[in-house]
Every structure is written in C-alpha cells, then in structure tokens.
Amino acid sequence: MAALVFAVAIGNEVNKWLKDAIGRPRPDQEHLVNVASLSFPSGHAMIGMILYTFIAFILIKELKSAKVKWVTGILAGVWIFLMGISRVIMKVHYPSDIAAGFAAGFMWVFLSIVLYEALRAMFTKKAYEKRLS
C-alpha cells in the first residue's frame, strides 16, 4: 500500500512540475467543469494511469487464473482510456495533453513498479536470511 501511495503522490508532484515547466494553457472553449491548473500534461490521465496500472499490477500478481489476469488488465486499460477521453469531451484538454499524460504516467508507474519489485526482493531476501540465522 505504501508503494502505491508513494507512486501516486510523487507522480502528482511530477505532473505539477511538468505543467509549470511547459505552461500550456487550456483550450479556449467553454469548459464543462471548473479547472484552475494548466493543460499539459493531463493530470487525470497521468495519475489515472499510475493509480489504476499499479492496482492492476498488484492484483494480477496475486491472481491465479490467466483469464482473470487478462480481464483485469483489459478492464484497467479501458477505464484509463475512458478517463482520458472524458477530459477531451469536457473540453478541458487537447488530445495531446491526454497522450502526454498517459505517456508520463506510464513511465512513472513503470519506474515505481521496478523500484517496488527491487525493494520487495531485497526485503524478502533479508527476511529469509534472518530466519536461517
């Protein structure tokens, strides 16, 4: 759970930094929801990618059935995609904002999962060695 919270919280800060660094304004159209931040990359797309991909990863690791693993991955992917599309439909993002949010979110969740697995392996090995002593 701590790894998930870390991935999402730091990912959110990375998203804010990227928005400030790029400084792209939102579309000029009337928005269907209130928004106050900059447009690029989409925070919903980025954080959604991080959150739901990490949750799907954890679930898939624990599931036994290959069919259920596939269904879990597909449902997570569809959910993430629909979240991104909804931001364009609400006229608060350009499609490129969503694509960049997905890309940045994927890179961040990939790094988070690699770090999680490395730390998990390290602590599991230390716990095993401690039991042998």
Active site residue 93: yes
What's the full length of the chain, in residues? Answer: 133
Active site residue 31: no
Locate 62 and state its tokens. 């624990």
Largest Cα–Cα separation, the chain: 67
80 CB neighbour count, 10 Å cutoff: 23
Q: How far apart are CA 78 and CA 91, in angstroms?
A: 20
Q: Of 41, 76, 84, 93, which residue is the catalytic one?
A: 93
Q: Of 44, 46, 102, 105, which residue is the catalytic one?
A: 44
Asked if the bond preceding 27 is cis, omega within 30° of 0, the reply is: no
Positions marked catalytic: 44, 93
